[in-house]
Amino acid sequence: MIPAKRYCLVTGAAGGIGRALVDIFADAGYGVIAIDLMKEIKGLRCLHYIQADLNLLADDCEYADQVMLRVRGFLGDRPLAALINNAAIQVMAPTALLNRNEWKKTLNVNLLAPFFLAQGFLDELMISKGVVVNISSIHAQHTKADFVAYSTSKAAISGLTRAMAVDLRGAVRVVCIEPAAIETQMLKDGFKGRDGDYKKLNELHPIGRIGKPDEVARLALMIVDGGINFLNGVSIRLDGGISARLMDPEY
């Protein structure tokens, strides 16, 4: 196999958006290094795969160093063009019942691990004038009951995007995507037995449907490789127009 000229690192590769990211970047000629908690992912089109626990990576410096060393082993002397922080967990619990472990794990996976990965691969990203793409959520701006931990972590990573872009002064670009509902298996499982509610969720988006994983992935590729290097320090809402809609009782 001929080594790719450009490499990207994608976390959360097992999910619907993660798989789409791997496929889209592989199609664009990138050597994709994929990370996920799962031991093995069948059919994943990455060049290299690493099983890693981002919750542990955020807590344990030695473990984090081991994971990053494996990534560097796959990179060799080739620079890292993009880090795509896609992995996330979603704990649903009201304020009164949200426990410390749930809070900590949510922040570890959704916020701290993305920062430590960006920090850890900063030299590689600077060599390539690379890009960090953080996959946030519409919950960074608009949320609902029982999403306290998740929405807080997503608001934080959107804020981290702005802060890092300013701090890195253009040496590495940092851009965020805030998707609304995306058609993943996880979303469908959450609406199992509630076909009417799932249909209504689609209809609530002014475009008439929820988003598709490959739309998130194509936007990420555009950010990384679309020739728009002035795009930096911003969060792009990929939401089908739902954040613009005023929800009256008729809806």
Instruction: Cite the active site residues.
Output: 150
Instruction: Specify the amino acid at residue 93.
Output: A
User: How far is it, in rounded angstroms, from Cα 182 to Cα 204?
Assistant: 13
Cα–Cα distances in angstroms (integers) from residue 68 to residues 51, 61, 119, in the given order: 12, 10, 11
